[in-house]
Chains A and B, each alone.
Chain A
Amino acid sequence: MSEVLELRDVHRTHGAGPAAVHALRGVSLTVRAGELVAVMGPSGSGKSTLLALAGGLDRPTGGEVLVEGEPLGGLAARELARLRRRRIGYVFQDLNLLGSLTAAENVALPLELDGAGVRQARRLALAALAEVEVAGLADRFPDQMSGGQQQRVAIARALVGERRLVLADEPTGALDSQAGEAVLHLLRRRVDAGAAGVLVTHEARHAGWADRVVFLRDGVLVDSTAPLAGVEQLLTGSGR
């Protein structure tokens, strides 16, 4: 399995001197293709900082972040922006769909920003919508869809194209438990198809979808569950 995301002894400090806030203090984490890692921790433990650094939305004050072997620290702002558009998908709690664009246009937007032709972008957008089972909503506007449908569109936008790193911050937001589970199911499927995923959550039931769960406390990784055995072994283990 190839390493898609690597954090090496990453520190992130806001401010300086006695008032400095150490959001992350020496975090090392590797996420491989086909692996979903959940990051759990209370508010203020550094979860969202970790995700922002992993996605190149913020820069560490110490250590290194690598995406598919490429150190983000060495990239100019422009190159970093391109890497974010091409290789990283984000799913946030607030969906950030643009109300004046249809579902397909929302999904196609990052591709068009990246220079894809309108027609090709639409074709890829429709494929991404089909993958999350809302192909029929392509020409609807966000306010014509339910919360669950909007979240699927947001996920399609995060997955469109060739993105191999998917970063999700409490992606089920305010969805009810069935719709929330469907979102995690989609994330899981994408990871099983070869992406690497990081899921930040404070809900244990959501973290249960991950291959590995790491626990963050006061900016430090304090513990981690071991990778799981295959399902076949589990079934044999339970006598089924």
Chain B
Amino acid sequence: MSIRHGLLALLERGEMYGYQLRAAFEESTGSTWPLNIGQVYTTLARLERDGLVRSLPESESGQRPYEITDAGRADLALWFATPISAADRPRDELSIKLALALTTPGVDVRAVVQTQRSATMRALQELTRLKYASDKPEDLAWRLVLDAMIFQAEAEIRWLDHCETSLVRHRPAPSRPTGRPEAVDRTGEEAHR
């Protein structure tokens, strides 16, 4: 997703100037994506260059509002109509990290998995807490953004669970890192074998 389309969507509601756009953007994404005002103005300049928005005369207080053009509306409609493909998303650092952990000597992959799972779980708890705390009808947009992040965190944890199961099945259990002595105690099991 681009800030471009975010700003176009906001301008579709009506003309706005930079600071209004920034505030509206943050409000509609539940502050999960903070923007600085510089990003807003650079993006507006590019949108104007491409004919997707038009700047209007300055107001008495010296603010310059922008409005969306017909070309901008068409671009926005196309954006809403086009599904996001995996190629649009940044590379997934976590999957690359795990793949490298698996092939790098001396790395305890299960510890890497568990460290990530705890961290993601904690993020999921925080997101759930935020959702639980927002029950006003006007918070719906914010709750849907939270839901998206909650489902993404859940998917990541499920994938980590899956990785762990695969590791157990296909590789001998590596030694646990120090500092988690309770997890090392497999001696009883070994003795029975």
Listed in ascending order, the chain A residues whose CB lies under 8 Å from chain B are 18, 22, 25-26, 40, 42, 185, 188, 203-205, 207-211, 213, 215, 217-218, 220-226, 228, 231, 234-235, 238-240
Q: List 30 A-B contacts (CB under 8 A).
A: A22-B189, A42-B161, A204-B124, A204-B157, A205-B124, A205-B128, A205-B151, A205-B154, A207-B125, A208-B121, A208-B150, A208-B154, A209-B128, A210-B125, A213-B122, A213-B125, A215-B114, A218-B186, A220-B182, A222-B183, A223-B114, A223-B118, A225-B118, A225-B122, A225-B125, A228-B122, A228-B125, A235-B130, A239-B26, A240-B31
A residues in contact with B124, CB < 8 Å: 204-205, 207-208
Cα distance A207–B189 when bound, in Å?
A: 30
A18 neighbours in B (Cβ, 8 Å): 192
Shortest CB distance B117–A (Å): 7
Beta-carbon nearest neighbor of B126 in chain A: A234
Complex Cα spacing A228 to B133, Å:
14
Known A208-B127, A208-B128, A239-B31: A217·B183 in contact at CB below 8 Å: yes
Q: Which residues of B contact A239 (CB under 8 A)?
A: 26, 31, 34
CB of A97, distance to nearest CB on chain B (Å): 27
Given contacts A205-B151, A208-B154, 14 further A-B contacts (CB under 8 A): A185-B132, A188-B132, A204-B120, A204-B153, A205-B128, A211-B125, A213-B118, A218-B186, A223-B114, A223-B118, A224-B118, A231-B129, A238-B31, A239-B31
Q: Which residues on B sit within 8 Å (CB–CB) of A42?
A: 161, 164-165
In the bound complex, how far is the Cα of B186 from the Cα of A220, in angstroms?
10
Q: Which of chain B's residues have a CB closer than 8 A to the CB of A221?
A: 182
